[in-house]
A and B are shown apart, each in its own frame.
Chain A
Amino acid sequence: MRRANAQIACGLAFAGNPQHRVQPAAKPKTVAAMPERIPLLKARLLVENGDHVKIGTPLYEDKENTDIVFASPGAGKIKKIVYGPRRVIREIVIQLDDEETAETFTPYPPKELLRLSPGALKEILLKGGVWPVIRDIVYRKVADPAQTPAAVWMATDNQDPFHPPAETWLSSPEDRRFFQTGRQALEILCSRVFFCRCTDFPPLDPEIEKIVTHRISGGYPREDPAVIHYHSKTGPDQNLAWFVSGQDVRLLGEFLESGRFPVRRTVAVSGIPVEGRYVQTRIGTPLDTLAEPGKANGHRWVVGGLFRGYSSVPESHLSLYETALGLIEESGRRELLGFMRPGYNKPTCSRTFLSVFNPSPLPVDADMHGSKRACVNCGNCTRACPVQILPQFTYKCILAGEIEEALSHGMLDCVECGLCSYVCPSKIELCRTFQETKQAYFRQRI
């Protein structure tokens, strides 16, 4: 049940893959909701400091669409609300009760589920605070319930180093039943529900394998739903699509069957200083319950994959969408004559280090490996891009303020995978620029 080391599309493998071992975590003292980490969300609080909430109680809503509410991942007293710059709500921390209570909703076992209309189902999901697990493929934000997507993708495999493979959270018959129920619910919302798996991942239960509609091979980010959607859409009417990550499909199913907001999360903890493993914990768990802060001194805490994730601190919590914690070294050591070392151990997508002859997974760190320069038109970013964007030209359009031109370059197809920024020898923040421009474009359009 081991899987190959996470690879990125250029064939590079990173070290630190967790061993396949799922451990249940002890119950944490606090959990938190993190509105800041929901892309493009303007959140409005629905609770105050000191309020008592149950699992599933709405904690905050989307200011622009108040139907979208976010459920509490724990029951207890609101301990503190942490704000970031410009009063963005960073964390809503809940001190957990010993005996947790949950809001209850009407359960919908599969038989009854199938009788629901799309509108009714949407309402149920919105009310239950589980709607936000359905995301828009273009902006990666919460899906707009008023829209009709051309397709919904279920993504069980995530090769961004390092995510828990499907068999870690889809092992029991109950898990699989929930997953199937979740899929049925999605099929009510959209007639085209697709399920893509990586060919080099071990097969799952035959019943699950039966519903797979697409198979792809190749490293990160080939398996990303937005990448697959880009390659399978056939016309502009199909641009709008949604995706749901695998654990969230299961979450939808469990919510519908049990009538309670499910909080289970299986998280991959990886990195050299920790014992890499898969932890069965819950949404919003404090990061220091996943790895020991003392041991990880001088390390960057990356929540989410190393490419898409964000830096965090041990005191922070696991945000709704994330199922990975990676610790990578952040030494800041200036290597003597670093740029002319043969580099048998240096990860690179280029052919300029001896590591091209090194088949083993290579150690990574949170270092830029160089300083920022002007673009030299080397084309590395274009070769890396999974959706045929020409990042260097699109980037220049954006800098020149030619947003229309950037759009015609396919900027909205950018899946924000970060490979272009990864390979750029001039260390240009291409991906961040695209992400910010996409978001600015979205905000300006509405």
Chain B
Amino acid sequence: MGWIEKKLRKVFDAPRKHFESGGRLEKLSPLFEAIEDVFFFPAGATKSSPMVRDSLDLKRFMSFVLVALIPPLLFGIFNTGYQSRLAADMSTALLPAFATGLTIVLPIIVVSYTVGLFWELLFAAIRKHPISEGFLVTGLLFPLTLPPTIPLWQVAAGITFGVVIGKEVFGGTGRNLFNPALTARAFVFFAYPAQMSGNSVWVAVQQKAAGSVDAVTGATPLAVTELQAPFNSIAEMLTDQGYTFSTLFFGNYPGSIGGTSAFCCTIGALLLILLGIASYRTVLGTIIGLLATGFLLNWLATPQSPPWFSVSPFYHLAAGGFAFGAAYMATDPVTAPGTDSAKWIYGFFIGALTVLIRVVNPAFPEGVMLAILFMNMFSPLLEYTEIRLRFKKRIPHV
């Protein structure tokens, strides 16, 4: 280790002078610092009391979100390859499927990170502040919400919108009102509906001859049930199409790259909660809100009401991007309320709105995205209300 450390030290020390103020590459110093900080943990001394500080910093905090994203990421890569090979009638064994998936997913992630980093760096250089680690999370969250067939230029446009409009215009990580990854996703969704409308999510097909990524439509479970369905028949219809509850739960169906597997998202959410990074209040809140609304609609359902009214709420839980949204997007601390009761309410409404959007407005089967963005908007209000109520209990200093 000592040897590697010395070599690495040299790698950073040699070009340092160019990045210091007055150097040729002064503008790039946030990038240099960010990279150096990854390898060599910054060691600044405490200047004011308390003289000791916790070992946890934001880099580690955010890195754990990346760690928690590993299960849906790996599964997403495999599933993308699997669906693509399935559509092309090729063998769907684990390794080849994974390899195919990798060739499809990796470029999307690389584009997302590169373009995102470019904007991040531009703003860091202009504002003269360090690059925030929040970007690492956004850069990976966004691709995982996309369908695998998305053209790369749309990835670039989306992440640009997310980083610039979703975050930087507000002042950067920590000051943004909306989750940047979701903002990016919403932008792509509304700007390029041809590729993103929920009616058909696309399965990437590896065309043997051309070797290019092309697209073939395949219905997603939420789209299947959007067709006119007789009363109480949705579950059967889904099952007929191969979408049994367990398929939906484990996520082996075409959909967004990382969002299909409720199972993988559950693992990620549990990890985040165990580590104390995500709040269990938000996550439980979303689940309770979703189930409560689902059961309420079941109870209200009549043969005349839209078909989704009568579907079991557990299908809502497992289907679509709900689990992904609840685990990784709703729990984003920056855009969620910071107070405890407000988190419950915030979560509850995300769950409730997800169901309502899915059921009542079939044009947006991925209701969770809109539900979270909508609640992002209300989170300051929820926070404010809770803070007001808390003050009432305080003994004032007059």
Contacts and interface: CB of A to CB of B under 8 A. Distances in A.
B55 A369 contact: yes
Contacts of B336: 377
A351 B42 contact: no
A355 B134 CA distance: 25
A423 interface: yes
A343 interface: yes
Nearest to B134: A376
Interface residues of A, number: 77
A377 B174 contact: yes
Contact of A373 (B54, B64, B173): B173
A393 B339 CA distance: 10
A238 B398 CA distance: 11
Contacts of B53: 367-370, 421-422, 427
Nearest to B46: A366
A353 B1 contact: no
Interface in A200-254: 233-236, 238-239
Interface string B41-69: 11111101111111111111101100000
Contacts of B390: 388, 390
A334 B395 contact: no
Given A307-B49, A376-B134, A425-B61, A338 B41 contact: yes
Contacts of B55: 343, 346-348, 353, 355, 369
Contact of B276 (A331, A332, A337, A350): A350
A307 B44 CA distance: 17
A302 B51 contact: yes
Given A306-B52, A422-B53, A425-B58, A371 B130 contact: yes
A63 interface: no
Interface in B57-89: 57-61, 63-64
Contact of A421 (B41, B50, B57): B50
Nearest to B336: A377
Interface string B267-280: 00000001111010
B37 interface: yes
Interface string A404-429: 00011110110000110111111101
A371 B387 contact: no
Given A350-B56, A378-B61, A307 B50 contact: yes
Nearest to B335: A377
B208 interface: no
B44 to A, nearest CB: 4
Interface in B106-164: 130, 132-134
A370 B63 CA distance: 14
Given A235-B395, A390-B339, A431 B49 contact: yes
Contact of A371 (B37, B275, B394, B397): B37
Interface stretch (A68-76, A77-85, A308-316): A308-316
B52 A366 contact: yes
A368 B45 contact: yes
A374 B52 contact: no
B237 to A, nearest CB: 42
Contacts of A431: 48-50
Nearest to B64: A352
B247 to A, nearest CB: 34
A300 B44 CA distance: 13
B41 A335 contact: yes
Q: Report, nearest first, the 3 A-B pairs whose CB atoms are least far apart.
A: A370-B57, A338-B41, A374-B174
Interface of B: 1, 4-5, 8, 37-46, 48-61, 63-64, 130, 132-134, 171-175, 274-277, 279, 333-334, 336, 338-339, 383, 387, 390-391, 394-398
Given A350-B275, A353-B55, A367-B43, 6 more contacts: A336-B41, A368-B46, A370-B60, A377-B333, A390-B387, A409-B387
